[in-house]
Amino acid sequence: MKFSRLVGAMFLCLGSGATLVQADDWPQWMGPQRDGVWRETGIVDKFPSDGPPVRWRVKIGGGYAGPAVAGDRVYVTDKQLPQGTEEAADPFKRGRTPASERILCLDDKDGSIVWKYEYECPYTVSYPAGPRTTPVVMDGRLYTLGSEGHLFCLDAAKGDVIWSKQLKIEYEHAQSPVWGYSSNLLLDGDRLICQVGGKGTAVVAFHKDTGKEIWRALDSEGPHGPGYSSPVIVEAGGKRQLIVWHPSALCSLDPVTGKAYWIQKFESNQGLSVATPRIDGDRLLISSFYNGSLLMKLDHDEPTASVIWQRHGQNEKITDALHCIISTPVIEGDYIYGVDSYGETRGLDIKNGDRLWSTFEPTSGISARWGNAFIVKHEDRYVFFSEQGDLILATMTPKGYTEISRAHLLEPTGPAQRRDVVWSHPAFAHKNVYARNDKEIVSVSLAK
């Protein structure tokens, strides 16, 4: 039985019966195939000395949500505060602040607003910068999930609401997850798959056209609800498997029915299941801030899996193998590359998780709690977007990290651990990069 990395053709159409997206679009979290690979050609080998050309900059509000790009439109969500209202002095502490969230459609030519949809959304979450999830665009529909559980399906061209839900109300949650609804939506055929949280509703599939519930599955209760990781689909053991990682377990479900194929217990302290599960061939990797990494082997003949290795350090400071917090690691052949708990980028031997090398260069240059850089593969190199707003071209091999070129795109604006950061994943489409902080979104040409 052959394995695919993420069933490429299936994800190009995001499910059976869907219209193909353009190959150079970025219509969802981690790109067209949801695997963090940028497949466009004709991209610069290195940046000009004065930086790559800026196509446009547009003011927006706060948020960790990355943009989505489809055709000649860019979609992004943000948070707005009423005039005279200020953010809480301590972003870590939960409170209640009057606010609204916006869904913005921008013209890719100049960044001008084509339409916007705004709704009231009082914020109760810790680190209340704004929405967390990347929009999903397909077949003329736009799907978004806000920080407080507002789920929308809109007409992508006009911004009209087709259907909507408030997850906290409809699924009887007392409060949002501590750090907000952060798990990115997954569109699979007629099913919009959403990690909701609660008893029996850790994962819920809605009909993409009507919002009607199709199935519900798994338990994920407590203050962190469904956790913060995003689901993916893999074909293995003769089945299409929906891989879901919530704070208590790594799970495989039938995406059509929600029936569980297998469940591997993996407790994440503080609910910090964040990074997206990474799949390469028959290997499945997850990595957590406190609890280290788990590598699974997917069976060739049946929809089952077994543990290859699991490693963790003494704590989140004295770590072993890899303890990811926000960034999703990558698997390249027999090696794992990822960003550890205090911002150290590491290379590991996939056979056992042994560390081969480490560096702080792609994040902030120093050890910093929750230090972060997002990683996207492009041809034989990697594109990093650091928490300091730098875009970096680099190679990673078993021998180490080598920086090729660096350009500063955005100022870090979000407070975290007594420093300012940019914690939003960029989009790569039409030979451009689209990145945002809490004040603006920028489009920069990377064409050769």
Over residues 70-91, the pLDDT tens digits come to 999 999 999 999 998 888 778 8
Sign for the CA dihedral angle at 334, 276, 431, 414 comes to: negative
pLDDT at 182: 98
Residue 361 lies in a domain: no
Residue 58 lies in a domain: no
Give the separation between CA 262 and CA 251, rounded to whole angstroms: 6
Pair type for strands 260-265 and 249-253: antiparallel
Residue 281 lies in a domain: no
Give the separation between CA 139 and CA 142, rounded to whole angstroms: 8
Give the separation between CA 430 and CA 40, rounded to whole angstroms: 8
pLDDT, average across residues 425-445? 98
Per the structure, the complete domain to which residue 188 belongs is given by 1-39+183-276
pLDDT at 166: 96
Percent of the chain residues past pLDDT 90, beyond the cut: 90
Residue 44 lies in a domain: no
pLDDT, average across residues 364-388? 96
pLDDT at 2: 41
pLDDT, average across residues 284-290? 97
The band of 22, judged by pLDDT with boundaries at 50, 70 and 90, is: low
Residue 396 lies in a domain: no
pLDDT at 4: 41
pLDDT, average across residues 262-271? 96
Residue 423 lies in a domain: no
Q: Any residues with CB less than 8 A from the CB of 373 and at least 6 apart, and which?
A: 327, 339, 343, 345, 362, 363, 384, 385, 386, 387, 392
Give the separation between CA 246 and CA 114, rounded to whole angstroms: 36
pLDDT, average across residues 122-143? 97
The CATH code of the domain that includes 262 is 2.40.10.480
Q: 364 and 418 in contact (C-beta within 8 Å)?
A: no
CA 244, 250, 195 angle in degrees (round to 5)?
Answer: 30
Residue 169 DSSP SS3: helix
Tokens describing residue 161 = 């609401």
Q: Is the pLDDT of residue 13 over 50?
A: no
Q: Is the pLDDT of residue 238 over 60?
A: yes
The band of 19, judged by pLDDT with boundaries at 50, 70 and 90, is: very low
- Ordered DSSP codes for 209-263: TT--EEEEE--B-STTTT-S---EEEEETTEEEEEEEETTEEEEE-TTT--EEEE
Residue 398 lies in a domain: no
Q: Is the pLDDT of residue 388 over 50?
A: yes
Q: Shortest CA distance to 70 belongs to which of 33, 24, 134?
A: 24
Q: Is the pLDDT of residue 373 over 70?
A: yes
| Residue 256 CA to its chain's centroid (Å) | 23
pLDDT at 89: 79
- Mean pLDDT, the chain, as a whole number? 94
Q: 431 and 447 in contact (C-beta within 8 Å)?
A: yes
Q: Which residues partner with 386 through β-bridges?
A: 373
Helix (H) or strand (E) holding 8: helix 8-12
pLDDT at 165: 97
Q: Any residues with CB less than 8 A from the CB of 169 and at least 6 apart, and which?
A: none
DSSP state at residue 276: P
Domain total of the chain? 1
Q: Is the pLDDT of residue 40 over 50?
A: yes
Tokens describing residue 83 = 């005039």
Per-residue model confidence as pLDDT tens digits over 389-412: 999 999 999 999 999 999 999 999
Q: 346 and 357 in contact (C-beta within 8 Å)?
A: yes
pLDDT at 91: 85
Burial of residue 407 (CB within 10 Å: 0-12, 13-18, 19+) is buried
pLDDT at 294: 98
Widest Cα–Cα separation across the chain: 61
pLDDT, average across residues 197-213? 97
Residue 352 lies in a domain: no
Q: Which residues partner with 401 through β-bridges?
A: 396
DSSP state at residue 23: T
pLDDT at 204: 98
Q: Is the pLDDT of residue 445 over 60?
A: yes
Helix (H) or strand (E) holding 170: helix 167-170
pLDDT at 23: 57
pLDDT at 174: 60
Percent of the chain residues past pLDDT 70, beyond the cut: 95
Q: Any residues with CB less than 8 A from the CB of 155 and at least 6 apart, and which?
A: 140, 141, 142, 162
Q: Is the pLDDT of residue 266 over 90?
A: yes
pLDDT, average across residues 113-131? 97
Q: Any residues with CB less than 8 A from the CB of 54 and at least 6 apart, and which?
A: 442, 443, 444, 445
